[in-house]
Structure 1
Amino acid sequence: MQHSVLTFKNRQHGVDFFKVSVDDKSLVICNKCSKQVPRGGKSSTSFNTSNLISHLKHSHRFDGVLKAYEDARAAKDASNLKPAAKKPPGLTHIGEAFEKSKKFARNDPRAKAIEDLIMEMMALDDQPFTLVEDRGFSRLINHLEPRFTLPSRRYFSDVCLPAKYDAIARCIHTLIDNNVKDMSFTMDIWTCDVSPVSMMSLTAQWLNTDFQLYRAVLQTQELPGSHTGTMIHQTLEMVHVVLRDNARNMEKAMKECGVANLGCMAHSLQLAVNEAVLSQRAVSDCVAIGRKIVGHFRQSQVASSALRKLQERLQVPQTRFQQDIATRWNSTFYMLKSLVAQKQAIAAYAVEHHLPATLNAHQWTLVENMLTILDPCEQLTRNISKATATAADVIPSTQALTRLLKQTVPTDHGVKTSKDTLLKAVQSRFGHVEEEPLYYLATILDPRYKDRYFTLASKSNQATDMLREKLLENDGATAGTPQPEEPPEKRSREDGNNSLLGMFEAILEENTEAAIHQENGRVDAELQSYLSEPTLHLSRCPLEYWRSNQSRFECMAQLARKYLSAPCTSVDSERLFSAAGHVMTEERNRLACEKAEMLLFIKKNLPLIHQQVEG
């Protein structure tokens, strides 16, 4: 039996170079020339391939056998080679590896960028400066960027905070200086609950040349001492229009400053509802009982669980009761509304369990009828508290609310006196709005309202005349050629006349035909063309209208940019101080007022800066 010498077999081509001798295993026979070649010894332990290779080199150098062997050998050697180890990307030499482990210098741009982002996070998310000392945060930063050395909290509070404040202030100044001519301001005063600090805010609102609305916090300043009108006056500088609340110290300050100012519509409505409705003895008794009921379920987990079981059994929505806040009448409205929604479940609970107080049948009816009176007021509060609400909404809203309160409906039973008192309070607090130029000019420049929502024709003519005077003051700008306007939208009356929206539509229908056919030679072609066109639907945005039509009504667009920039409430300032409550907490009650001002300034203005950068 013959055996191939596998070491000399070209497996790719199937060629055997030698075979073992049958008679003597210490010899192999060349398959080419049949010559016997010693294997290097007598025992298998001494066998080698040196003699076989020498035989091929001397005897078969030129006949192709040697080349075949060398090719087979090279292929085998290549297959036995181990693949070279891949080097980590970027580590091409020791110098680069060392660079990767080297800490950033304090002034390194990469380190500055990380510090800047940490500072922004502290301001936006109300994080304390001690965050950088927390073990978890330190481990996270070290994992994300081992080369960054986390500075101390003092460094962030004393270096990074002022630097970020100055950078944002420069951006705000640049934004305002960029062709902003007319701005509206809101202001408010806030007192901290956890430290003896009072602050006054000044926020600005304006429209750019493309009718985009901007808001920025210009200042949040400490207001030490008594909040008298004189003290507030000394704080204000270079302000010409201010929207304020109705506190007497604010009114006095505005008079001493000699600046144009308006009261907050939401605050005026709050006072009207409180003095006309919630102060009524029967209503206040119902509210007090409602607070006890809500407090019982909110403070007792056992009572809440029992109520949920009753809700499941009665198949009523499992909603939570809302606790009211004494200074917010609409929160009382929401509390009473949540109680009425759970009336059946509360009655069933009172039969099986103890309640600290209950409403009788007459009181339940009183609450339900009272909600129908307050519902339009709640709708109005939501509308004027929107970010898009302007001074133009005041006259149409108050007229719609007044006419709605004058209507007689079946739900007036038992609450007619409260309704009449609320009507008088609304007329008393808002009766002057049609005499205020800022209000009636903003109204007539709003394409949703124009001159359709004034109570008398004389009021409408007064607004039109004043607008014409303003147009003439703008150097007698000529009107553009009137272009075909899109067809008037179909106005939905599905809400009927029992809602605030339905009353808006009713007023508009009464005054539209007369306004369109009225010809007044005292107004120029531009004004007449604008007023004769159909109004926009209430759901449309007036700023989009002016953005598209400012080339047609160039002079009027300039006035619209001025008067439609004014808000109708001081909600922006109140929201600012809601944020202040998160900045100055029990854990941060030693935070210096100056640093709290900077944090608030950054928190409220940074999104605007980001919007500008991304835009």
Structure 2
Amino acid sequence: MIKRIHKLHSFIETIFHRQEYKNLKINLLEIEELIELGELIDLLSPFNKISETLSGETYVTSSLIIPGFKYIEKKLKLEQKDSDLVKNMKKIIREIFDEYSENYDLDKNPLLLAASFLNPFYKNFQFVTPSYRRTDYLKVAKGFLIDLFKTKRYDEQITKISKVKKNKEDILRKKLSFESESESDEEDVDVFDIKSELKNYLADPSNDDALIYWEKKQYQFPILSTLASVILAAPATSVPSERLFSHAGYQLWDRRNRLSKSNFEKIMFIYENFDL
């Protein structure tokens, strides 16, 4: 709203300077006030940017939470060029920001750190300063993934991906060796090594979008791709689900309540995926 006021102020001023409005007592913003308004817009813009980004639904957002907070933290640092107004505003916002960060312990949240790590763009935690702290973040993220793997909750899914890869490799090998595809070797015992996957993942220079990356690399990293499908599926905010419920309200209401569950789900699927 204040951004709109700031943008349209010159037009509003021009209109009220017309002869027919001369008798109206309207207090327009002074130049100093316009400057302060512009400073507030610049200060608050990063918050709007982060809010919109974290509310997205066509890309993974859980991996953006910690980088987003680090971005805000950077923007709240006092600078020599800041006016008194901006400095005071930054101090107030910083107090609230620090209290929130402390209450939720974001810097040490293993799930959020793992989510950022599983996004190829953020896996080295380059957004963390000072740089020596990146090792601590990396250690927590890797430790969380190793512990999650050790629970064996996802062994079945990991094994399934691994077998698909092995079958493809076996078919190609048999073709090149002129063997019959019906000839089957003794089944190998799969040995999964998450530490090896972590090492190779960090060495991989690919920097694709997280969704594209893990789809392409699922056979190379069966463990990490499986864990990524679980961790990165969680949205950063409730906005996507709120949008869905809002759209559902347009399809099912008190005068249109005879829709079957099946038809309602089909309508919602088409509505939400119309652009595909």
Contact 2:116 2:123 in 1 (8 A): yes
Residue 51 of structure 2 corresponds to residue 373 of structure 1: no
Q: Give 1:554's match in structure 2, choosing from 209, 222, 238.
A: 222
Once residues 98 and 49 of structure 2 are traced to their aligned partners in structure 1, the CA distance between those partners, rounded to angstroms, is 18
Residue 9 of structure 2 corresponds to residue 343 of structure 1: yes
1:427 is matched with 98
Letter in 1 for 2:47: C
Question: SS where residue 406 of structure 1 aligns?
Answer: coil
Contact 1:576 1:604 in 2 (8 A): no
1:459 is matched with 137
Query: Residues 378, 603 of structure 1: CA spacing in aligned structure 2 closer, same or farther, 3 A cutoff?
Result: farther
Q: Give 1:446's match in structure 2, choosing from 113, 119, 122.
A: 119
Once residues 610 and 337 of structure 1 are traced to their aligned partners in structure 2, the CA distance between those partners, rounded to angstroms, is 33
Matches within 5 A, 1:93-104: none
1:383 is matched with 53
The structure with the largest helix share of the pair is: 2
Instruction: Give the deviation of 1:426 after TM superposition.
Output: 2.3
Contact 2:115 2:228 in 1 (8 A): yes
Once residues 583 and 609 of structure 1 are traced to their aligned partners in structure 2, the CA distance between those partners, rounded to angstroms, is 12
Once residues 44 and 86 of structure 2 are traced to their aligned partners in structure 1, the CA distance between those partners, rounded to angstroms, is 11
Residue segments in structure 1 that go unaligned for 5+ positions in a row: 1-334, 481-521
Instruction: Give the deviation of 1:460 after TM superposition.
Output: 2.6
Question: SS where residue 85 of structure 2 aligns?
Answer: coil
Residue 83 of structure 2 corresponds to residue 415 of structure 1: no
Contact 2:54 2:237 in 1 (8 A): yes
Q: Give 2:73's match in structure 1, choosing from 402, 424, 445.
A: 402
Q: CA RMSD in A?
A: 3.5
Instruction: Give the deviation of 1:609 after TM superposition.
Output: 6.2
Query: Residues 422, 338 of structure 1: CA spacing in aligned structure 2 closer, same or farther, 3 A cutoff?
Result: same
Contact 1:395 1:454 in 2 (8 A): no
Letter in 2 for 1:425: I
Letter in 1 for 2:37: V
Residue 205 of structure 2 corresponds to residue 534 of structure 1: yes
Once residues 379 and 412 of structure 1 are traced to their aligned partners in structure 2, the CA distance between those partners, rounded to angstroms, is 22
Contact 1:395 1:434 in 2 (8 A): yes
Residue 115 of structure 2 corresponds to residue 437 of structure 1: no
Instruction: Give the deviation of 1:461 after TM superposition.
Output: 1.2
Residue 149 of structure 2 corresponds to residue 468 of structure 1: no
Residue 267 of structure 2 corresponds to residue 606 of structure 1: yes
Query: Residues 379, 599 of structure 1: CA spacing in aligned structure 2 closer, same or farther, 3 A cutoff?
Result: farther
Instruction: Give the deviation of 1:394 after TM superposition.
Output: 0.5
Structure 1 residue runs of 4+, over 6 Å off? 609-612
The structure with the largest strand share of the pair is: 1
Letter in 1 for 2:44: L
How many equivalent residue pairs?
Answer: 226
2:212 is matched with 544
Query: Residues 361, 599 of structure 1: CA spacing in aligned structure 2 closer, same or farther, 3 A cutoff?
Result: farther
Query: Percent of pairs identical after alignment?
Result: 24
Contact 1:443 1:451 in 2 (8 A): no
Instruction: Give the deviation of 1:544 after TM superposition.
Output: 0.4
Query: Residues 357, 580 of structure 1: CA spacing in aligned structure 2 closer, same or farther, 3 A cutoff?
Result: farther
Query: Residues 582, 547 of structure 1: CA spacing in aligned structure 2 closer, same or farther, 3 A cutoff?
Result: closer
Letter in 1 for 2:257: K
Instruction: Give the deviation of 1:390 after TM superposition.
Output: 2.2
Greater Rg by CA:
1
Once residues 568 and 599 of structure 1 are traced to their aligned partners in structure 2, the CA distance between those partners, rounded to angstroms, is 32
Letter in 2 for 1:435: K
Once residues 600 and 463 of structure 1 are traced to their aligned partners in structure 2, the CA distance between those partners, rounded to angstroms, is 41
Instruction: Give the deviation of 1:577 after TM superposition.
Output: 4.1
Letter in 1 for 2:29: L
Instruction: Give the deviation of 1:451 after TM superposition.
Output: 3.9
Once residues 362 and 601 of structure 1 are traced to their aligned partners in structure 2, the CA distance between those partners, rounded to angstroms, is 60
Q: Structure with the greater relative contact order (CA < 8 A, sep ≥ 6): 1 or 2?
A: 2
Letter in 2 for 1:546: W
Instruction: Give the deviation of 1:376 after TM superposition.
Output: 0.9
Instruction: Give the deviation of 1:356 after TM superposition.
Output: 4.5
| Deviation by residue 1:271-325 (Cα, 9 ceiling, x = unmatched) | xxxxxxxxxxxxxxxxxxxxxxxxxxxxxxxxxxxxxxxxxxxxxxxxxxxxxxx
